[in-house]
């Protein structure tokens, strides 16, 4: 009987401690802000650029896309990067 009562008090104390602890605020940031942005409008897309890599050239284009929402309703934008080999001019 005493073990049950003690277990009940332990569970009650654990529940109250868990509910009374402050909530951890989510951190929506990235070590590289060039890859993720939080806000209502997307950042401007960069124009496509062609890189000369010696024996071939590479066309690189970057586009921002909506990738969800934060719990407080802000839009999460992530960057997609597209690369393809093109003939050098």
Per residue in 44-79, pLDDT (tens digit) is 888 999 999 988 999 999 999 998 888 888 899 999
pLDDT of 23 reads 66
Q: What is the pTM of this model?
A: 0.57
The strands making up 75-86's β-sheet, listed across from edge to edge, are 36-38, 75-86, 57-69, 49-52
Name the band, by pLDDT with cuts 50, 70 and 90, for residue 80.
very high
User: Can you give the residue ranges of every domain in the chain?
Assistant: 34-89
């Amino acid at each position: 009987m005493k073990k049950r009562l003690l277990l009940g008090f332990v569970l009650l104390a654990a529940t109250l401690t868990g509910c009374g602890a402050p909530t951890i605020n989510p951190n929506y940031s990235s070590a590289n802000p060039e890859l993720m942005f939080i806000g209502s409008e997307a950042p401007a897309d960069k124009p496509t650029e062609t890189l000369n890599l010696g024996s071939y050239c590479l066309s690189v284009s970057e586009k921002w896309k909506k990738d969800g929402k934060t719990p407080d309703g802000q839009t999460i934008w992530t960057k997609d990067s597209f690369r393809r080999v093109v003939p050098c001019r």
